[in-house]
Structure 1
Amino acid sequence: MLLIEKGDKVRLPKRYHAVNNICAYIYDHLTEVLSDPYYSQMSQTTFEFGEDEEFQQIVKQSKVHIIDALKTANKKAELETVLTKHLVMSIVSDMTNFIYESIKIAQKGKMSVAFALVRKPFTDQLLILEQILIDKTDFINRFFHNGNPQDYDPSSNKLDKAMIIEAAILKLRFPIFQPKFIHELRYDKSSKLSINWISNHALHIVTNDKDYKTENQNLNFVFSVPEDIESYWHHFFLAIPILLIYTSSIVDKIIFEIIDDKDNRKELRQLQRLIGLMMSFERVQKSRMSTSLFSIISKAIVTECGICKHKNRFKKHDFKLFFYQEIFLCSKCFNPIKLHEDGIKNLSKILG
């Protein structure tokens, strides 16, 4: 369990508990994809091929895997759907294991391990998800039809990572993410904020690259004193909430282009993530939640209580409650209220 409850004894200083818990809630957005029946369409696919006898004969051959059957029958669209689902669910499953262990170990102050563990999910796996979001046909061609790992290796210098991030954010249509900053957090070797910079120190006891060279008479992370650990915590709980929120947004965008979303979960989750991002900035950078942005959202989702008919315009404390409890309360009668359809549509326009 990543959540730190009141009274829990952990090494992590109390000032980081709130942002740790923000990470825990956003982490649950990712694991929910794997376990919640709402996402069951990602684990099963139904096709109707009518009187396609040739395909039926291929499928009836018990030793033929459905993916091979689809390829043999040249069912490209269906094959793309199956492979996209399989790739996304498998990558999310693996990356959540790394992220969980990283946050858990960061709570204990074992920061070289914590930073080493976030390299794979945020520099490699996330880049694959971004490419799937941008153009899944292109990625499936490189991954499956060509099949050469050199064509889809996320560490390849042939990939323009900055361009991929920019294109992914453009598809998200979520105004809070800045492509240059997301790129810096992940790949900028010259930036001490970068996962690339810090994880190279975490993984290698001596580094010779001019951008993250080991200091004279030192070994990376080995001689860390309490002041260093404090600096690592600050770095970790600045970068990881942002990257978690961004990753969850990418995953949701891919998934809800494939499956039904009758409960408008995409918009509600995106609102949660926006609130979480603002709260993490508030905690780590001592900045205030953007009143102008939340004022725009509040105006867009004014909601009438179904019981007392009071029209609610939500405030900062209402948004914080929604982040943690996933409910809004009527400010007059305190009963739970659901956003109206018009409010959801307006939310979708603002948050993508």
Structure 2
Amino acid sequence: MSEQEKESLNNFEGHILDWLKSNNKTKEYEITIKKRVIPALLSDMLHCIYETLKAMELGKVTIAYMLLRKPIQENLYLFEEMILREDSFIKIFEENPLSLRPKNAGDIEGHKNRMKIILETLKLDSILDSSYLATLRYDKKSEDSFDGVCNQAMHLFTEHQMIKTENLNINFIFADKESKKTLYDFMYSRLPYLMYYIYLVFEQIVASISATTQDYLADIHHRIFAMFLLSYAHIDDYYKTQQFYDLCILFEKYLIKSFKCELSLNTLESIAFTGKAL
């Protein structure tokens, strides 16, 4: 910034965004907005997910699934839009933010195609399954989806054919201990896969503003991979999926190559919590 620009900014009485825009500093203008939006959006997302997990821990299954819908369908969608519409996102955000809602992606195929583009951009389309991610987040017709369960948790009565409330019933109200255990197992066998995708999307966005060091990325990857393997060990066979298993095999190979050791339970716990093998 030149001395003349510094003086102009110091004497400017309006909002800094107005100054940036009036001085044709488009890049700085967009980065300033993103630096304001991204932390707030991430905070909102993580608070919802944290409270989801705390509610599950306390056995408050209905509350947990009510809270999960927004972060995985709306917050994550907006982060995806920042990648897919990198050059036009700020303009759209200024002029027509309603076009940034998930319903504008269309049907499940539309959501799948969006995520496929993102995974291809990240060069991870052979690692994560865009079709499965779309199903988990948005497909009411699938039993292997958060969408139907989250809608039932949110509403006392639902009419969609696949989640229609039975006669003489109210969604979740009469759930017994066995039903809650089923919902618990479903949550913890599906959410880690989705959380890894969330991490990848967020890392891509922030890297475009301020790149993360390779040492930090390696440490984070080691911890995530180890935690992923630990979580898989606690999943009941009935709830295991091919997608989760394939990711575990990949993570296991990566950790063995990185640490050059066998991955015992104690070793995985050490990597997960300290970033180092025993």
User: Could you say whether these structures have the same fold, taking a TM-score greater than 0.5 normalized by the shorter chain as the test?
Assistant: yes
Q: Which residue of 2 aligns with 1:325?
A: 274
C-alpha contact (below 8 Å) 1:249/1:270 kept by paired residues: no
Confirm whether residue 294 of structure 1 aligns to residue 252 of structure 2. yes
Shift of 1:182: 0.9
Cα pair 1:122 1:186 within 8 Å, conserved: yes
Q: Match for 1:150 among 87, 98, 112?
A: 98
The aligned counterpart of 1:238 is 189
The SS at the match of 2:209 is coil
Amino acid at match of 1:262: T
Q: Which amino acid aligns with 1:101?
A: E
Query: Structure 1 stretch 275-284 or stretch 150-159: which is displaced more?
Result: 150-159
| CA RMSD, Structure 1 to Structure 2 (Å) | 2.4
Looking at both structures, which has the greater relative contact order when contacts are Cα pairs under 8 Å and sequence separation is at least 6?
1
Deviation, 1:84, is 2.0
* 1:157-306 paired onto structure 2 within 5 Å: 157-158=105-106, 160-174=110-124, 175-262=126-213, 264-286=215-237, 290=248, 294-295=252-253, 297-299=255-257, 301=258
Deviations 1:258-300 (A, max 9, x none): 224336222322232233333323321446795575335533x
SS class of match (2:102): coil
CA contact (8 A) 1:134 1:171 kept: no
Contact 2:81 2:100 in 1 (8 A): no
Are the equivalent residues in 2 in contact too, given 1:95–1:125 (CA < 8 A)?
A: yes
8 Å Cα contact 1:80/1:137 also seen in 2: no
Aligned residues: 266
Alpha carbons of structure 1 residues 291 and 189: separation in structure 2 relative to 1, 3 Å: closer
The CA deviation at 1:215 is 1.5
CA contact 1:127–1:154 (8 Å) conserved in 2: yes
Structure 1: distance between partners of 2:25 and 2:39:
21
The alpha-carbon distance between structure 1 residues 90 and 139, as it changes in their structure 2 partners (threshold 3 A), is same
In 1, are the aligned partners of 2:45 and 2:75 still within 8 Å (CA)? yes
- Who is 1:126 aligned against? 76
Residue type of the alignment partner of 1:164: R
TM-score (norm 1): 0.69
Equivalent pair of 2:135/2:145 in contact (CA under 8 Å): yes
**Contact 2:80/2:201, CA 8 A, preserved across alignment:** yes
Distance 1:277 1:113, change over 3 A: same
- Please report how far the alpha carbon of residue 324 of structure 1 lies from its aligned counterpart in structure 2 after TM superposition: 2.2
TM-superposition CA deviations, 1:43-63 (whole Å, max 9, x none): xxxxxx225x3x445522453
Residue 260 (structure 2) pairs with residue 313 (structure 1): yes
Structure 1: gaps of 5 or more residues: 1-48, 302-311, 330-352
Q: CA deviation at 1:75?
A: 1.2
Distance, in Å, in 1 between the alignment partners of 2:213 and 2:205 is 16
Deviation at 1:65, TM superposition (A): 1.7
Letter of the 2:192 counterpart: P
Shift in CA distance, 73/198, structure 1 to aligned 2, threshold 3 Å: same
The 1:157/1:123 distance shift into structure 2, 3 A limit, reads: same
User: 1:254 Cα deviation (Å)?
Assistant: 1.7
Q: Is contact 2:137-2:147 (8 Å) kept?
A: yes
1:50 and 2:8 equivalent? no
Q: Which runs of 5+ in 2 are unaligned?
A: none
For residue 115 of structure 1, report the CA deviation from its aligned partner: 0.2
Partners of 1:221 and 1:58 in 2: CA distance: 60
Structure number having the greater helix percentage: 2
1:242 Cα deviation after fit:
2.0
Distance 1:275 1:170 in 2: 25
Aligned counterparts of 2:277 and 2:197: Cα–Cα separation in 1: 24
